[in-house]
């Protein structure tokens, strides 16, 4: 993978571009992709954002989101765009398998694949150009850095500001995770000086849910959470029936995994959701417990040091058993609490 700075000289020559991100995009994946989109179209490029799957409706307010193509829904059109592209920007994922059904189309395309990402252990051999920096708060921050590195920061408009702010804010847990470096606050200061209305973005992202979702959360906290004090760990398990009962949509379960971390002394929180076709897991930790390694070792996943995910095709009960075994194998690391 060559440095991303090598593409800067070609930025002003119009091309066919595809911008994509990991499946079930979160605020950072969608925000970084749309932020980059609003930047690149200003050079006359023919750019399309394609998401590998559908996404949470609380992202729909983002400028440009309604024009994003869902690969699963519009596969033929997406395949044609991917095959015809000169450049494909791959944002907020480290391995092509994170694009699910889109992976083969990405591999087949003759386009140059360009990576912008902050996850650990990137699959660098499949990208022609790119930047991987695991110290960065978010891919959205990296898109902002790329805009500055290319020297056209005068092109940062309100659409770009909104998308980048949403990505940085969601991936830093509203500026509370250790990844919230001084550069993050400088970025926010810059966007505010440019006129960004940040409280509107917080409302758009966090105050747009259904009454059902709140009742669902009440049920989860009351009936679906188990705390293992011996391991400083808490686990939420959600059977598929709950998803039907409360009419839970994509995105409605996002952030749930963080609730148990507010219990004193809890060092790791996990959630296992039975999504029918698979059991999806999320892991969050505080301090020195590495959930990236944990997710890789036991749940075919990965992510960051303090936030990772994985999945399993096994039944829910087996995944729960596997989780309990995994925490007992990590008892030493989990029982010593250190920041």
Q: Which x/- pattern over 259-298 shows residues binding ligand 5GP (rule: CB under 6 A)?
A: -----------------------x----------------
Question: Binding of Mn ion at residue 242 (CB under 5 A)?
Answer: no
Residue among 168, 158, 237, 162 at smallest CA distance from 201: 162
Residue among 253, 285, 254, 301 at smallest CA distance from 177: 285
Binding residue for Mn ion, selected from 19, 22, 28, 49, defined by CB under 5 A? 28
Number of residues engaging Mn ion in binding (CB under 5 A):
4
CB of 22 to Mn ion, least distance (A): 8
Number of residues engaging ligand 5GP in binding (CB under 6 A):
13
Residue with smaller CB distance to Mn ion, 28 or 252: 28
* β strands within the chain, DSSP E: 2-3, 16-21, 46-51, 69-70, 87-91, 112-117, 129-132, 225-228, 233-238, 268-274, 279-285, 302-303, 307-312
Question: Binding of ligand 5GP at residue 122 (CB under 6 A)?
Answer: no
Which of 3-11, 42-50, 99-107, 137-145 is the region at the interface with Mn ion (rule: CB under 5 A)?
A: 137-145
**For residues 98 and 85, what is the distance between their CA atoms, to the nearest angstrom?**
20
Binding residue for ligand 5GP, selected from 7, 22, 25, 116, defined by CB under 6 A? 22
Position with the least CB separation from Mn ion = 28
Question: Binding of ligand 5GP at residue 302 (CB under 6 A)?
Answer: yes
Helical spans, DSSP H, in 11-126: 27-40, 75-84, 103-108
Residue with smaller CB distance to Mn ion, 92 or 274: 92
The DSSP call for residue 1 is -
Q: Name 223's Cβ contacts closer than 8 Å, sequence gap at least 6.
A: none
Give the rounded distance of the alpha carbon of 287 from its chain centre: 21
Task: Tell how strand 87-91 and strand 112-117 pair up.
Answer: parallel
The neighbouring-strand residues paired with 284 are: 269, 307
CB of 169 to ligand 5GP, least distance (A): 15
Question: Binding of ligand 5GP at residue 308 (CB under 6 A)?
Answer: yes
Residue with smaller CB distance to Mn ion, 139 or 233: 139
**For residues 122 and 82, what is the distance between their CA atoms, to the nearest angstrom?**
21
Question: Binding of ligand 5GP at residue 309 (CB under 6 A)?
Answer: yes
DSSP-derived 3-state class of residue 21: strand
Six-digit token pair at 67? 């024009």
Binding residue for ligand 5GP, selected from 58, 256, 304, 333, defined by CB under 6 A? 304
CB of 277 to Mn ion, least distance (A): 24
Residue among 221, 247, 215, 230 at smallest CA distance from 337: 230
Residue 242 interacts, among ligand 5GP, Mn ion, none and using kind-specific CB cut-offs from 5 to 8 Å, with none
Residue 301 interacts, among Mn ion, ligand 5GP, none and using kind-specific CB cut-offs from 5 to 8 Å, with ligand 5GP
Residue numbers at the binding site for ligand 5GP (CB under 6 A): 22, 26, 119, 282, 301-304, 307-311
Q: Give residues in contact with Mn ion (CB under 5 A).
A: 28, 92, 139, 171
């Amino acid at each position: 993978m060559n440095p991303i700075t090598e593409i800067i000289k070609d930025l002003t020559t119009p091309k066919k571009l595809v911008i994509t991100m990991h499946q079930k995009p979160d605020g950072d994946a969608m925000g970084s992709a749309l932020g980059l989109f609003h930047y690149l179209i200003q050079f006359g490029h023919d750019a399309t954002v394609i998401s590998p799957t559908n996404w949470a409706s609380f992202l729909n307010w983002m400028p440009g989101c309604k024009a994003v193509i869902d690969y699963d829904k519009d596969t033929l059109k997406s395949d044609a765009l991917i095959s015809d592209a000169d450049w494909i920007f791959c944002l907020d994922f480290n391995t092509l398998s994170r694009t699910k059904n889109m992976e083969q189309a990405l591999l087949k395309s003759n386009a140059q694949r360009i990576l912008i990402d902050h996850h650990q252990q990137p699959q660098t051999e499949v990208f022609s150009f790119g930047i991987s920096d695991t110290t960065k708060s978010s891919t959205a921050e990296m898109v902002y850095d790329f805009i500055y590195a290319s020297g056209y920061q005068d092109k940062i408009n309100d659409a770009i500001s909104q998308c980048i702010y949403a990505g940085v804010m969601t991936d830093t847990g509203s500026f509370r995770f250790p990844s919230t470096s001084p550069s993050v606050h400088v970025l926010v200061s810059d966007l505010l000086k440019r006129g960004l209305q940040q409280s509107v973005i917080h409302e758009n992202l966090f105050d747009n849910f259904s009454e059902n979702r709140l009742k669902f959360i009440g049920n989860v906290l009351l009936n679906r959470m188990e705390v293992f004090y011996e391991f400083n760990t808490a686990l939420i398990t959600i059977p598929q029936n709950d998803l039907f009962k409360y009419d839970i949509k994509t995105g409605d379960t996002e952030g749930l995994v963080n609730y148990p971390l507010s219990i004193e002394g809890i060092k790791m929180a996990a959630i296992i959701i039975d999504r029918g076709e698979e059991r999806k897991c999320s892991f969050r930790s505080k301090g020195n417990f590495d959930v990236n390694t944990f997710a890789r070792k036991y749940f075919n996943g990965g992510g960051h040091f303090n936030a990772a995910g994985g999945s399993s095709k096994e039944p829910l009960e087996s995944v729960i058993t596997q989780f309990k075994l995994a925490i007992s194998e990590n008892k030493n690391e989990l029982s010593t609490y250190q920041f």
